[in-house]
Amino acid sequence: MTEEIIIAGFGGQGVLSMGKILAYSGIMQNQEVSWMPSYGPEMRGGTANVTVIVSDDRISSPVLNFYDTAIILNQQSMDKFEKTVKPGGLLLYDPNGIIHHPQRKDIKIFKIEAAKLSAEMGNTKIFNMVVLGAYLKLKPIVKLENVIRGLKKSIPERYHKLIPMNESALTKGMENPVEVFLN
């Protein structure tokens, strides 16, 4: 199994940390992982994206042009990354703020209302965990218990009291992805 993922959105949406938690979850079940951020000028301009690869085998290139899954969290990223999903691959996005919805018919498209759901839960900071939950429902490449173990590894101990809230956000995400069918 090799899963090549791009996660893209605004800085501050938790894109990089979501990738980090996913990578740590892979380590928790003895998989190979890589996490390659975009940085430099882009980091200062608002958009943030990270390439995460989780694999049973040695990982070759940590930078890619095409992905099994694109998780897209703003319009700029939709414009840039919709075309990079491999045929038959997955595009998961939050429709909040999206004007031009995805058009491709050769991939699977799912929506997750993560901004709305996290606001309803009273904490927009768990937005990225709702998205991650939805992704793991669609592609269960890591077990939930290993995500929790990954969370414990990737956040400082003083924040461990927040883990139950993150867990309920993951569950919320798992319950809510909606498939988009294009005519």
Partner 1 sequence: MGELKLMKGNEAIAEAAIRAGVDAYFGYPITPQSEVIEYLMAEQPEERTGMVVLQAESELAAINMVYGAAAAGKKVFTSSSSPGISLYQEGISYIAGAELPCVIANVVRGGPGLGTIQPSQADYFQSTKGGGHGDYKLYVLAPASVQEMADFIQLGFDIAYKYRNPVMIQSDGMIGQMMEKVELADQRPRWTDEEIKQMHDSWAAFGKGDHRERNIITSLDLDSAKQEKHNHHLQAKYRRMEEEEVLFEEINCEDAEYLIVAYGSSARISMKSIDLARAKGIKAGLFRPITLYPFPMKQLNAYVGKVKGILSVEMSAGQLIEDIKLAVECNVPVKHFGRYGGMIHSPEEVLTALENLIKGE
CB of 169 to partner 1, least distance (A): 21
Binding span for partner 1 by CB under 8 A among 56-64, 99-107, 138-146, 158-166: 56-64
Which listed residue (11, 17, 64, 76) binds partner 1 by CB under 8 A?
Answer: 64
Which listed residue (61, 119, 140, 160) binds partner 1 by CB under 8 A?
Answer: 61
Cβ proximity to partner 1: between 59 and 180 the closer is 59
User: Are 6 and 84 a contacting pair, CB within 8 Å?
Assistant: yes
Compute the distance between CA of residue 109 and CA of residue 13 in angstroms, rounded to an integer: 21
Q: Verify binding: residue 76, partner 1, rule CB under 8 A.
A: no
Amino acid identity for residue 92 in this structure? L
Of 98, 101, 96, 139, the C-alpha closest to 118 is 96
Q: Verify binding: residue 60, partner 1, rule CB under 8 A.
A: yes
Q: Verify binding: residue 153, partner 1, rule CB under 8 A.
A: yes
User: Are 136 and 174 a contacting pair, CB within 8 Å?
Assistant: yes
Q: Verify binding: residue 24, partner 1, rule CB under 8 A.
A: yes
CB of 71 to partner 1, least distance (A): 18
Binding span for partner 1 by CB under 8 A among 23-31, 96-104, 159-167, 170-178: 23-31
Amino acid identity for residue 71 in this structure? I
Cβ proximity to partner 1: between 26 and 177 the closer is 26
User: Are 15 and 43 a contacting pair, CB within 8 Å?
Assistant: no
Cβ-count burial of 166 within 10 angstroms (0-12 exposed, 13-18 middle, 19+ buried)? buried
Compute the distance between CA of residue 19 and CA of residue 128 in angstroms, rounded to an integer: 10
Binding site for partner 1 (CB under 8 A): 20, 23-24, 27, 32-37, 39-40, 59-66, 153-154
